[in-house]
Amino acid sequence: PIYLDYNATTPVAPEVLEAMLPFLRVHFGNPSSTHPFGRIAAQAVDQARNQVAALIGARAHEIVFTGCATEANNLALLGVARALGGAKRHLVVSAIEHPAVMAPAQHLREEGWNLTVVPVDGFGRVSPDAIAQALRPDTALVSVMHANNEVGTIQPIREIAQITRERGILLHTDAAQSAGKIAVDVGTLGVDLLTLAGHKFYAAKGVGALYIRQNTPVRNISFGADHEHGLRAGTENVPAIVGFGVAAQLARERLPRAGSHLRELRDQLHGLLIEAIPGLMLNGHPVQRLPNTLHVSFPGVSGRRLLDQASHIVAASLGSACHSEHDVVSGVLAAMGVSSVRAAGAVRLSVGTLTTPDEVSRAASGLLEAWRTVASL
């Protein structure tokens, strides 16, 4: 089948794999060791830290490598909570955050923190004014994702940052979906903490990072060693980190050309589908969204049945890969006020650098045929 699920994960780029292999068999030392094997591994981790920092306009010492974006999100929320958990015990998140943010936020609420969930509009956008109204004297942290993993809507992080900065409140953004697809610069965005996921832009699974602006109060949430500036206990996954660095460098070199290529493919797919299927509806913002993401509702059918019918032609998903086995209406669509009937027919189609115009044409034909079959049952 044609792979149209790049928001779930991406294949490892050949350059990334090539860079990783020596660190699995030849340069296999522990970066904490002081002998030559260890020093080579430590130097490779340092180089990757510089490459990842360069992708987002950060300084190398502000990058903490983690095992994934979920861990980075947990470190951001719980680490700030541990550091500031005295007088300030109020947290603000948007209603469409990934479970990797929502779950630690709920955990803090169970620990006695106050949690405010800010609603979004029908496009899935968070209003900076709504964030401003949610802030209190005891607000420690605001967390709003940079781009939504399901509908692709890009949030006004810079405007939100101006509000939080004026009030002396920390701002975290989960940029797992945006990095590598659109420009992500921590200085421009004005954030204090930012999450990255390697496997979302052609690095291996099992590596992520948390950007922590210098002097931002964060404490460790794992124990046993003092790796990663004392913020992440455990031996570094050197091969994955090396690959992550190369993937970050490739992403930096290929933007914005890659973004326009993705947008052309996405719009080609949307055009073919909307031309052939009356009543097909776009979910998410028509302009302020990721260039590779097309989230649409097919009329009169179940999205799951449609994808099952088309599974021999197209590999796509209903929404977040992290909870797609649960056949429930998307919390993101519910927060956007999308009707249950429209939400039931929703499908997320996400293209990538390996997608071709021919694949898009064949995928559209396959989805159209599957829609006609399922709609006639």
Mean pLDDT confidence for 72-96: 94
Environment class of 112 (CB within 10 Å of its CB; exposed 0-12, middle 13-18, buried 19+) = exposed
> Alpha-carbon distance 196 to 201, whole Å?
10
Known catalytic residues?
A: 322
Return the structure tokens found at 167.
């009030």
For 111, the token pair is: 């620990």
What tokens were used for 32? Answer: 């904490």
Can you give the pLDDT at residue 88? Answer: 87
Q: SS3 helix, strand, coil % of the chain, rounded to 5?
A: 45, 15, 40
pLDDT exceeds cutoff 90 at 59: yes
pLDDT band, very low/low/confident/very high, at 79 (cuts 50, 70, 90): very high
Q: Is pLDDT above 80 for 195?
A: yes
Tell me how many degrees the CA angle 344-349-350 measures, rounded to the nearest 5: 145
The verdict on whether omega for the bond into residue 256 sits within 30 degrees of 0, i.e. cis, is yes
Asked if residue 31 lies in contact with residue 254, where contact means CB atoms within 8 angstroms, the answer is: no
In order of their start, the domains of the chain are 2-9+256-376 (3.90.1150.10), 14-254 (3.40.640.10)
**Cβ partners under 8 Å of residue 372, min gap 6:** none
Strands 208-212 and 63-66: antiparallel
- Are the C-beta atoms of residues 101 and 123 closer than 8 Å to each other? no
Span 157-176, pLDDT tens digits: 999 999 999 999 999 999 99
pLDDT digits (tens, 9 = 90+) for 291-332: 999 999 999 999 999 999 999 999 999 976 554 455 567 899
Cα 221 to Cα 337: distance, rounded to the nearest angstrom: 36
Place of tokens 């429930």: 328
Query: Is residue 210 a contact partner of residue 193, using CB atoms and an 8 Å limit?
Result: yes
Does the pLDDT of residue 140 top 70, yes or no? Answer: yes
Question: What is the rounded distance in angstroms from the CA atom of residue 128 to the CA atom of residue 12?
Answer: 36
* Residue 123, SS3 per DSSP: coil
pLDDT attached to residue 119: 98
